[in-house]
A and B are shown apart, each in its own frame.
Chain A
Amino acid sequence: MPELALMMAADRVDPDEQEFTRLVKLAKSGDSMAFEVIVLRHERRVLSTAMHLLGGNREDARDAAQQVFLRLHRHLGRLDENRAFAAWLYRVTVNVCRDIHRTRAARPTVPLDQAGEVAGASESDQSLVRSEQNRMIHAALAALPEKERAAVVLRDLEGLTTREVARILGSSEGTVRSQISHARLKMRKHMRRSS
């Protein structure tokens, strides 16, 4: 089945839990098409979360997303379709990004394609400003401690509740609130510095 048809199939499907449970069951029984639909449904979310957690580095985010789906494929048999799949996926994404971040921390790099985008002559002034602003935000996020970054990304960018974030990160709600508060205060300082 071509990619486009698969994407259309993924968009048409009503994204309710019952349908998802059916997809997971099919994927568990070896239906590769069902697995592809699951991936297509969640790839944007996984990729954007990974980008935010990895300071906007697309190469790293791509590798992280790939590893997340690899783990999903590997653990499909053990996956409980009745439990919150999104939380599981977020947890795996956070763990994978943490591993990648630790591995690459020793040798920080700026991908050439992104550097070119900022300095690209073909882009309009507005998009240039936008790109530069995004780069600064990602840099500010990357400067946060690992746990604060994960907490604030899940809460503010992914829109999860404090309780959900606490469950995903394996912390108490109080701890997560404290991490979020610290992270927001630091982001404010970054904004003041950049403006």
Chain B
Amino acid sequence: MNCGRFESMIALDVEGDLPVRQAMRLAQHLENCADCRQFAEEMRASQAWWKSIRREAPPASVLAEVRWRKPGRMIPWPFLRWVPLAVTAGLFLAMLAGMMSRRPELVPPKLQIAAAVPMPPTLPVVRVNPPVRKRPPKPKPEPLLVKLVTDDPEVVIYWLVDHKGD
């Protein structure tokens, strides 16, 4: 009899994980198969053996360390692993910023002049001072003539007054 497929069923049945219909089928098989009954016994022993570590309590020292390092108390060490990376990235960015600041200013590209167009002769550049414009002289104000008329029509007084009022 090929019992291979029943082994995986037994592995589930020992902890009650086998669906009801399959469990019934397995029970029928176990009634007639001594090898599978032996296998089931071994499976139970194996489960008891390895499940014994369930009784193993976490060591108090490790618990204390977890408590000591819990969030909000100190910087968690896994984050400390990122510190060298962050420092390296910072240095790299600083170097990059330094290089960017020292980069030469952009020079506009030289104009490409077609060969057919003759190049004008290069003339020496002479610096010429712009001519100084002279202000036109201010015209002298003409003296003011004041005419004083008296009661006597024969007598008229003329008074010359300059721009200063003298």
Residues of B within 8 A of A70 (CB): 71, 76, 78
Chain A residues within 8 Å of B, Cβ to Cβ: 3, 32, 35-36, 39-40, 43-44, 47-48, 51-52, 56, 58, 61-63, 65-67, 69-70, 72-74, 133-134, 137-138, 140-141, 155-157, 162, 177-178, 180-182, 184-185, 187-188, 190-192
Known: A47-B66, A52-B53, A73-B71. A184 touches B46 (CB 8 A): yes
* Interface SS, A side: helix
Nearest chain A residue, comparing its CB with the CB of B71:
A73
Residues of A within 8 A of B71 (CB): 35, 69-70, 72-74
Distance of A178 Cα from B9 Cα, bound (Å): 9
Known: A44-B58, A48-B57, A67-B76. A185 touches B7 (CB 8 A): yes
Residues of B within 8 A of A191 (CB): 45-46, 49-50
Nearest chain A residue, comparing its CB with the CB of B39:
A188
B15→A156 contact, CB < 8 A? yes
Distance of A176 Cα from B125 Cα, bound (Å): 91
A-B Cβ contacts below 8 A, count: 114
A-B contact pairs, 20 of them (CB 8 A): A32-B72, A35-B72, A39-B70, A47-B62, A56-B53, A61-B58, A63-B78, A66-B69, A67-B76, A67-B78, A69-B70, A70-B76, A137-B52, A141-B50, A155-B15, A184-B47, A188-B46, A190-B50, A191-B49, A191-B50
B78→A185 contact, CB < 8 A? no
Distance of A156 Cα from B72 Cα, bound (Å): 34
Q: How far is the CB of B141 from chain A (nearest CB, A)?
A: 89
Nearest chain A residue, comparing its CB with the CB of B44:
A188
Beyond the given A44-B63, A52-B53, could you list 6 further A-B residue pairs with CB under 8 A, ordered by the A residue number? Answer: A43-B63, A43-B66, A47-B63, A62-B65, A177-B12, A181-B9
A188→B66 contact, CB < 8 A? no
Q: How far is the CB of B38 from chain A (nearest CB, A)?
A: 12
Known: A66-B76, A138-B53, A156-B51. A184 touches B43 (CB 8 A): yes
Any A CB within 8 A of the CB of B162? no
B12→A181 contact, CB < 8 A? yes
Any A CB within 8 A of the CB of B8? yes
Distance of A115 Cα from B47 Cα, bound (Å): 26
Distance of A182 Cα from B78 Cα, bound (Å): 34
B70→A137 contact, CB < 8 A? no
Nearest chain B residue, comparing its CB with the CB of A188:
B46
Distance of A192 Cα from B49 Cα, bound (Å): 11
Residues of A within 8 A of B65 (CB): 62
Any A CB within 8 A of the CB of B56? yes
Residues of B within 8 A of A66 (CB): 66, 69-70, 76-78
